[in-house]
């Protein structure tokens, strides 16, 4: 009976140590890869362990990976330009759906992209800023989204703390988020309003359009009117 008890006791201790090791490992993974958003079935995480901030250029460098249906989909390294609220890819790789093997995507230069409010990139940048004790790209106002336009099918809100006014080029950039009557909210669309020639560009889920004329009772008119108000505000 003593031998049997000793064997059971040893097995219990081993099992306890294995479980403790697994728990610590999971905790390390949870603390390293920080959840920053989702898009349908895709879950985005950034690597807090390798994130860096450069005070000379006021930029952040991060790795971000996407998990889809529990499997790695892709991973990429990004530069984030805090002053300009822009980011640019550095390296990128995708994972084979069946084998899980990583395939590096070679590209000479990635385009510069605008950072959308409430996006995974903004959330990752904010977390890194917190680690280094520096200010976020925006004020992260609780009432960030404010009404700007409604139609028969949608209500549109603009991000009041993500406005970019370029007086040199006489443009105002406004992020607008639309919600359908059924409650579905689309990803934000960036409207660039040209003050002098009274035209609007946009880029987002709707596609890309440039030099749109402004028609009455449209989201383009609402965005341009708000841009004009902010541009000439004293």
pLDDT at residue 14 tops 50 = no
pLDDT at residue 17 tops 70 = no
pLDDT at residue 26 tops 70 = no
Classify the phi-psi angles of 133: left when phi > 0, otherwise alpha if psi is within -120 to 50, otherwise beta: left
Q: How confident is the model at residue 205 (pLDDT cuts 50, 70, 90)?
A: confident
Instruction: Evaluate whether 147 touches 126 at the Cβ level (below 8 Å).
Output: no
Q: Where are the domains of the chain?
A: 32-132, 145-231
Q: Mean pLDDT over all residues of the chain? A: 88
Q: What is the DSSP letter of 110?
A: P
pLDDT at residue 22 tops 90 = no
Task: Dump pLDDT digits (tens) for 28-67.
Answer: 446 799 999 998 889 999 999 999 999 999 999 999 999 9
CA atoms within 13 A on the CB side of 191: 29
Integer Cα distance of 49 and 46 in angstroms:
9
pLDDT at residue 15 tops 70 = no
Integer Cα distance of 16 and 204 in angstroms:
51
Q: What is the DSSP letter of 8?
A: H
How remote is the C-alpha of 84 from its chain's centroid?
15
Residue 234: the pLDDT is 64
Question: pTM value?
Answer: 0.82
Q: Which of 144, 169, 146, 187 is nearest to 231 (CA)?
A: 169
Percent of the chain with pLDDT over 70: 87
Percent of the chain with pLDDT over 90: 76
Across the chain, how many H-helices and E-strands are there?
3, 15
CATH entry 2.40.128.710 includes domain 32-132: yes
Q: Sign of torsion, CA 115 116 117 120?
A: negative
């Amino acid at each position: 009976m003593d031998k049997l008890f000793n064997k059971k006791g040893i097995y219990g201790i081993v099992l306890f140590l294995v479980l403790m090791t697994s728990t610590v490992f999971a905790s390390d993974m949870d603390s390293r890869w920080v959840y920053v958003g989702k898009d349908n079935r895709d879950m985005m995480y950034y690597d807090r362990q390798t994130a860096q901030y450069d005070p000379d250029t006021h930029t952040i460098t991060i790795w971000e990976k996407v998990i889809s249906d529990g499997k790695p989909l892709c991973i990429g390294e990004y530069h984030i330009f805090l002053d300009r609220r822009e980011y640019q890819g550095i390296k990128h790789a995708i994972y084979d759906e069946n084998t899980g093997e990583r395939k590096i995507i070679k590209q000479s230069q990635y385009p510069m992209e605008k950072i959308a409010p409430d996006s995974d990139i903004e959330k990752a940048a904010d977390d890194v800023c917190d680690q280094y004790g520096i200010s976020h790209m925006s004020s992260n106002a609780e009432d960030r989204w404010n009404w700007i336009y409604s139609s028969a099918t949608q209500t549109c809100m603009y991000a009041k703390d993500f406005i970019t006014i370029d007086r040199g080029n006489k443009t105002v950039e406004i992020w607008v988020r639309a919600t359908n009557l059924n409650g579905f909210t689309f990803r934000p669309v960036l409207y660039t309003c040209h003050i002098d020639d009274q035209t609007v560009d946009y880029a987002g889920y709707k596609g890309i359009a440039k030099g749109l004329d402004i028609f009455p009772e449209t989201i383009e008119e609402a965005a341009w009117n708000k841009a004009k108000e902010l541009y000439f505000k004293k």
